[in-house]
Each structure stands twice: as C-alpha cells, then as structure tokens.
Amino acid sequence: MLSFAKKSKVEILQEPIEDALCAQAFISGLLHACGSLTKNSEGIRVDVVTDFEDVYDFLNKLIEKLYGEQLTLDISDDYIINKTTYYRISFPLQVSEQVLKDTSILRNGEYNFDGDIDENLIPDEESKRAFIKGAYVGCATSSIKLSELGSRLPTTGYHVEFASHKRQFLENLSKMLENFEIYPKISLRKKIFVLYIKDSESIKDLLALVGANECVMDLSDEMAKRDLRNTVNRQVNCINANINKTVEASLKQISAINYINNKIGLESLPDDLQEVAILRLANPQESMEELLKLSTIKLTKSGLNHRFRRILRIAEFLKEN
C-alpha cells in the first residue's frame, strides 16, 4: 500500500508538462532535491537518486522530448537502506552539461548546486509551480496516515516535509511557497535541514499547488473523520465523567445514609430527609434527575441536593461525636 506522500507523487506525475520552461523548472527542482553531480575524465555525470521508481518514466519522457536522449535506470544493493530500494537515474553524458545550463545549475561557467535558484528560470507562477513539483517529487515525505473505514486506531498528525543537506535550497523553496501564501518553517534535524508544514489547511494548499487534487480530497475526508472521532470521544468522555460523578455521589450518599441508620435509625431523621434517604437506598444507581422523577413530592434539583447535603452533615456530625 502506497504511503500518502507516494500516492500524492503518483498523482503529480500523471499530469504531463508540455511547456519547455516549466519542464526545465521541474527538472531543476528535482535535481536540487535529490540530484548529484560527479566530475570525471569523461565529463559531468548527472544522477537522480530516489526511492520512487515512477520518477524514471516521467523524467525520461521530458529528457527525450527536450534533448532526444534516453535516461538509464540502475538498481543496486548499495542503494537499499532500511529495507528501502533506491534507484539511480543517470543522464547521458552528451546532454548533461546542457541540462545543467538549462536548469540554471551551471551559470557563467560555475556550478550553483548549493541551493541558489536563478530567478530567470522561474519568472512566473507556472514555472514556480513546476519547480515546487520537482522538489516535492524529489524530497517530500509525510507522516499522514489515512484512517481505514471503521478504524479506531489512533492516527498521526498532519505533517509534510522537504529534507535536504542544503539550507539555502530550502530557504529559497520557502520563499517560493510564500508566493502562494503557504508559510512553512525550517529546522535542523541530525545534520539534515527540514522544511516542514504542520497546518492541515496549508498542506491541502500545497497538495493543490502541485496538482495532487485527489489527495486534497482524501485529506479533507480524513480531517472530517478525525473531527467526528474527536467529537464522539469528547462526548463519550463527558458522559463517562458524568457517570463517574453520579456513581461517586451516590456511593457517598448511601454510605452516609447507612451510617445514620446504624447509629440512630432513619426514623430519627426529619420526614423530608427520610424520604430522600429511602429513595436513594431504593435507587442506588440513578442520577439526581431520575430521583426527581421517582420522588412523590415536588422537588427541584437544587432542593434535592440541599437535602442530601443535610444528610451528609448529619453523618459527619455523628462520626465526630
């Protein structure tokens, strides 16, 4: 079963990118998120390392359309980490340098792979959206778990994050998201920088931005389920608290009544107190509202409480004397 993050990535990759500038922006976002550069005697080697195999077909189509070349996909035991298989997608050497120039990673003869993003690559909202898509597919993860129908198991909170060794990349990505009124935060976690979003509405905005509309609906349904579950839990807790309160009060009253009966007899109590004492002994589990219904004399809840308080004081007086 796909995780929520991978499900959203599958949905993103179902939407083809036709515009060349948006395609280059997407590739740039992907390379900044999970790409690597290696120099050797033959030239520059550009790779994408990912645990999401679907990236290969989508990226391969873009490269074939833009440059007329095919990517290669490798799987190695070296890329299996914590039982997760990682794939290395390699760009052909003959187009690697041109790809780096077109994605503004190679500018003026210098490699800008530390997270510096060329504004000329993302001049409008569509190109920014494409870049964010590439970054999301490359390094976004989520702790969101959708509840199964009828499940009562506790679920995790709402959390989506982008992880990277490059703080500048995440800072620039954050500024890009702010253009769409999404305001993430950045923290350092075990030498890895993390850009994260915990607000559920902001997560829905992010998913809509990158084109994962079905996941937006899934998350909306999940939020509704959790709200309903929380409401039911609060009501049950409130009912249980009231039951416990009723039982505790009843036990206290019965204890006092029995003490009085053993010491001086219930017949020694005033008539009004005798009736409520006998009423309570006959109905030990009923609430005050139910006792009022069962009473043969007209009383208010306040009046009934007052009589029980008098009985409790008499019992205390007898214990002290």
| Residues 187 and 248 reside in one and the same domain | no
In a domain, 229, yes or no: no
pLDDT digits (tens, 9 = 90+) for 3-39: 889 999 999 999 999 999 999 999 999 999 999 998 8
Predicted pLDDT of residue 304: 87
Check residue 150 and give its pLDDT: 44
Rounded to whole angstroms, the Cα distance separating 43 from 92 reads 10
CATH number of the domain bearing residue 54: 3.10.28.10
If asked whether residues 46 and 179 sit together in one domain, one would say: yes
Sheet of strand 72-81, all strands in order from the earlier edge strand to the far edge: 35-40, 43-50, 84-90, 72-81
pLDDT confidence tier of residue 213, bands split at 50, 70 and 90? very high
Q: Is residue 223 part of a domain?
A: no
pLDDT digits (tens, 9 = 90+) for 97-148: 999 999 999 988 888 888 889 899 999 999 999 999 999 999 999 988 877 6
- Indicate whether 208 belongs to any domain: no
What is the pTM assigned to this prediction?
Answer: 0.73
Neighbours of 21 (CB within 10 A): 17
144 and 222 in contact (C-beta within 8 Å)? yes
Residue 189 and residue 251 in one domain: no
Does 134 fall in a domain?
Answer: yes
* Whole-Å CA distances, 260 to 204, 265, 272, 295, 304: 65, 6, 15, 21, 18
Residue 187 lies in a domain: yes
Distance CA 127, CA 23 (A): 8
Q: Are residues 188 and 86 in the same domain?
A: yes
- Please check whether residues 315 and 191 belong to one and the same domain: no
Tell me: do 185 and 126 sit in the same domain: yes
Give me the domain span that covers residue 34.
Answer: 4-143+161-198
Q: Are residues 85 and 179 in the same domain?
A: yes
Does 135 lie in the same domain as 37?
yes
Q: Answer yes or no: do 139 and 285 share one domain.
A: no
224 within some domain: no
> Do 123 and 254 sit in the same domain of this protein?
no
Nearest-angstrom CA–CA distance, 251 and 232: 28
pLDDT for residue 76: 60
- Residues 23 and 119 reside in one and the same domain: yes
Residue with tokens 């959390």: 159
Strands 43-50 and 106-107: unpaired
Percent of the chain with pLDDT over 90: 50
Question: Mutual orientation of helices 271-282 and 213-263 as an angle, nearest 10°?
Answer: 130
Average pLDDT over residues 87-100: 92
Dist. CA 310–CA 55, nearest whole Å: 77
Per-residue confidence band for 149, with pLDDT thresholds at 50, 70 and 90: very low
Is 237 inside any structural domain?
no
Helix axes 301-320, 271-282, angle to 10 degrees: 100
Output the pLDDT for position 71. 94
Is the pLDDT score of 307 beyond 70?
Answer: yes
How many structural domains are present in the chain? 2
Q: Within this chain, do residues 10 and 125 fall inside the same structural domain, yes or no?
A: yes
209 domain-assigned: no
